[in-house]
Structure 1
């Protein structure tokens, strides 16, 4: 539906055209001899997307502060105004949220080169080592360099295959850890379990180790791993959260909203746990001149980063770049799979017929004499449909990682000024009633076209966002898909799940602070496979 501002603009433009034609008609009629050409009126500038009236100087900052969390207020305003694109002015910055898939495709696919930068922010600067990385750094030569490194050397099919055994070990450790919890407690905290599985996987891929120090025999985390995962989730929660000093830089240092303290604490945790490993490995590879001659092969992604050489045979990445990029990779891997699986399990316990159908598929494809393997993923369409539905209905964040306009642009008939922050809404796309039938219901079947068509977790039409797309999109979709499906499939195959006796029903309410479940999902679990399949 056309907004009032757009209608007013169109009517005004039509009126000016009619007035111009009337004047032109009488000018030509009254002129003697050859008429002089009448200059055309200058076209009116296109309007900005609709948005609330900003306050002088501060724009909508006061509304953001008053209506927390700001993301929900933003989406609620757009829903009430029935618009798929809006503009919220905060200081001198135009923040443009999008909930319409067609408009999202124009930003992230048709004009993705124009919107290929990232915002400058206090948290992004801290976690990227001063913008030394590939994912959250603004557009520029450093981003291009690190992006080339990731796509050619780190996140590529050959490297994914090379790291298969490490992922398989962590899938086995997941089953072992849950089995031990069943024996000792009878109940499993699925938030804790899913998050630490993701933390284990990415630590194995980057550092070739599950534990920073001495491990535990039951496969569970120690205090260091607990603090590591907590720091990663806190960092992600604050990375692009509304922070007043990001829009009014003169306020940096006052920490009016408490973000700077949290960011400093997360950074200290990363430095304490990561840097001893990285420094020691750099010493082994670069300072020990005999390492190459001994025919030593890389064992993990950290080795690959350190071994990369430029055209002159010198190290391609500085120690600072290695540390920053290792941290960014870890942060990028943990939240999406763990959140989707926790929500999927909650929905499936709430509606046991979904869980039964998923278990039947695994029994049919895999059987009960072996554990699910990555090679089974293409045949597990219903499992993937459940994960995809969790991504649609319960995304990890209200918005995708922000994009920044590198130049003025026109999208959906609106003017998008240079420097605008584009926020494509995961929640707005996935729950859009114009796209999805019964958008607030968990219905995995909606993603299954036929038995002959493989279900994938991504959506090229941007009706949902599991892993982002475009020039600044997620380049580790294969890894994210593998982690998500293996986590969900192993949990469903290996155990019978039910709500604890003390719980009357599963609570599907979202947290007030973010989009995770309000309370961690704690379930009763019983092993259901032959004993020899549970790793000891």
Structure 2
């Protein structure tokens, strides 16, 4: 009897102890949860779809995201779209953590309909997830295509296109029907596209061009296709966040990108196929351009080509996208701002007079001494980037950043306007003031901001490997335009409308301005010899 009573007391004590233990563990769990880092601030998400309905009702998505961050008064936000956490950042301190401190787990790319179609299944460099293909294409681009050796070798081609730019604008000045009224957006974009066609295909036009040496129907269709691709790249398609809806293409995103890629490849693929056949048949023996270089790269044992036709075609589209967008947009915005502030334009012209003079055209060798011209372009990159975000990164592990929990698989977007227009960082952030980038007379202006207070060319492991080429093209474009011509609004009483497009960050209307020759007539005549 005593034994049974003792056993009963032990069982009661054991049960009581178990109950107390469970309560204690529950309290610890609740305490841990309450002190654990939380997600960055963001809207309340619906089950399954997250905030997709709200995003679709407030297009374009990038403006909705930025407006949301302003309302929440935050420099980091988390927006769940489908099952994906979108982390948007406008803080330079957090950007440095992402791109520098945690670069290794920040170096991959998310799967996206646009990136997959443009790269033909991730065969190019910029859009490929981290892995062997990315490493291979990075070696190709850094060590071969964008090497200093190739940069120097293609110098003459770049000079030829800079001359052609001046000749084209000069033709507009001589045309009595338009009296020097120039569509600067067209001139800038076509200069960049011509330069690409020259260094890749050794030819300026796909067709015959026009009498004033402008672009023909083929080139216009080609450039339009490229900018359609750029506008859709990582464009928040529904299928990027709910993959099983890809087959329905509810927002038409897939169709638009596929058609644009088809239009571009209609002009790229025939010359690529023809050139490869020429090398195979022994009809060509010297490398004249980037296409020849890509075709002739060999594997480590030298027995077979390093790149397949598919890889070459995908990488050439990517190179083209990288060349046409940033330089043309930066030069167009810079010139528009400078026309509205004539003292800035005059100061840039004075620098060109001092460094170059007026008896020759500015050359690439002058660029290191054109600090004020570069400051104007850097200011344009700061206030007026074309793309609202850097190319999207995907987070490869759970991590705590800035006191917030960033889940594995999150898409991290560093905001270009959010950084460049951050009032905590920049004095009068919306004012075009190039002087802010000139530290001292002996310090050369560089487009890349190492403190990530702005994004011109991306940095880190997935940073742009073509900074030298991009910087050179951008500077030569603006320097040639303002050295060779005086610029005013089309009507003397006008000012340039600096309204921003709703659909991207470019000018709402193309820059239309009146150009008049600024140099001696003999300078221009030499371009026709």
Does structure 1 residue 280 correspond to structure 2 residue 270?
no
CA displacement at 1:76 relative to structure 2: 1.4
Match of 2:3 in 1: none
Tell me the equivalent position of 2:383. 393
Q: Is 1:341 equivalent to 2:335 in the alignment?
A: no
Name the counterpart of 2:8: none
Name the structure 1 match of 2:191.
197
Task: Choose from 486, 503, 507 the match for 1:496.
Answer: 486
Q: In the alignment, is the contact (CA less than 8 A) between 1:51 and 1:88 conserved in 2? A: yes
Q: Which of the residues 147, 152, 164 maps onto 2:143?
A: 152
1:352-363 → structure 2 map (5 Å cutoff)? 352-363=342-353
Matched, 1:520 2:510: yes
1:259 is aligned to 2:289: no
Does the Cα contact within 8 Å between 1:127 and 1:324 map onto a contact in 2?
yes
2:13 counterpart residue number: none
SS in 2 for 1:283: helix
Partner of 2:402: 412
Unmatched tracts of structure 2, length 5 or more: 1-23
Give the 3 Å change call, closer, same or farther, for CA 118–369 of structure 1 in structure 2.
same
Structure 2 length normalisation: TM-score? 0.91
- Which runs of 5 or more residues in structure 1 are unaligned? 1-37
* 257-266 or 175-184: bigger deviation: 257-266
Q: Is the 8 A contact 1:174 1:219 kept in 2?
A: no
Greater radius of gyration (CA): 2
**Structure 2: distance between partners of 1:135 and 1:298:** 25
2:447 is equivalent to residue 453 of structure 1 = no
Once residues 215 and 355 of structure 2 are traced to their aligned partners in structure 1, the CA distance between those partners, rounded to angstroms, is 32
Tell me if structure 1 keeps the 8 A contact 2:99–2:459.
yes
Taking the aligned partners of 2:472 and 2:355, their CA distance within structure 1 comes to 17
Deviation readout 1:312-346 (Å, 9 max, x if unpaired) = 22100011111111111111111001001110011
Find the aligned partners of 1:162 and 1:478 in 2 and give their Cα distance. 14
Q: Among residues 196, 214, 222, which one is paired with 2:216 in the alignment? A: 222
Distance 2:482 2:275 in 1: 38
Residue among 370, 376, 398 paired with 2:360: 370
| 2:435 is aligned with 1:442 | no
Matched, 1:466 2:463: no
What does 1:72-151 correspond to in 2, within 5 Å? Answer: 72-151=63-142
Q: CA deviation at 1:268?
A: 1.2
Shift of 1:217: 4.9
| 1:372 aligned counterpart, secondary structure | coil
Provide the C-alpha distance between the structure 2 equivalents of 1:264 and 1:73, rounded to a whole number of angstroms. Answer: 26
- How far the C-alpha of 1:251 sits from its partner, in A, is 1.6
Q: Is the 8 A contact 1:99 1:432 kept in 2?
A: yes
- Given candidates 286, 293, 299, the residue that maps to 1:304 is 293
State whether structure 2 residue 243 is matched by structure 1 residue 249: yes
Cα separation, 1, equivalents of 2:397 and 2:203:
44
CA distance in 2, matches of 1:231, 1:502: 35
Cα distance in 1 for residues equivalent to 2:290 and 2:281? 19
Residues in 2 aligned to 1:409 and 1:304: alpha-carbon distance in whole angstroms: 42
Question: Is 1:175 matched with 2:166?
Answer: yes
- What is the CA-CA distance between 1:502 and the residue it aligns to? 7.1
- What is the distance in 2 between the residues matched to 1:311 and 1:457? 36
* 1:21 paired residue number: none
Give the 3-state SS of the residue equivalent to 2:76 in structure 1: coil
TM-score (norm 1): 0.90
Aligned mates of 1:289, 1:316 — CA distance in 2: 19
Deviation at 1:219, TM superposition (A): 2.5
Alpha-carbon offset, residue 68 of structure 1:
1.5
Whole-Å Cα distance in 1 between the matches of residues 53 and 461 of structure 2? 33
Note the C-alpha offset of 1:521.
Answer: 0.6
Equivalent-residue separation in structure 1 for 2:350 and 2:265 (angstroms) = 45
Q: Is the 8 A contact 2:201 2:289 kept in 1?
A: yes
Q: Distance in 2 between matches of 1:204 and 1:503?
A: 40
The RMSD of aligned alpha carbons is: 1.6
Call closer, same or farther: CA 1:83–1:495 in 2, change over 3 Å.
same
Aligned residue for 1:59?
A: 50
- How far apart, in 2, do the equivalents of 1:144 and 1:520 lie? 39
1:113 to partner: Cα distance: 1.0
Q: In structure 1, the residue corresponding to 2:105 is in which secondary structure?
A: coil
User: CA, structure 1 residues 95+211, in 2 after alignment: closer, same or farther (shift >3 Å)?
Assistant: same
Question: Per-residue deviation at 1:409?
Answer: 1.8
How far is 1:153 from its partner?
A: 0.6
Cα distance between partner residues in 1 of 2:253 and 2:418: 26
Give the Cα–Cα distance (whole angstroms) in 1 for the partners of residues 498 and 158 of structure 2. 30
How many aligned positions are there? Answer: 495
Q: Say if 2:50 and 2:82, in contact at 8 Å, map to a contact too.
A: yes
Corresponding position of 1:268:
262
Contact residue 207 and residue 219 of structure 2 kept, 8 A: no
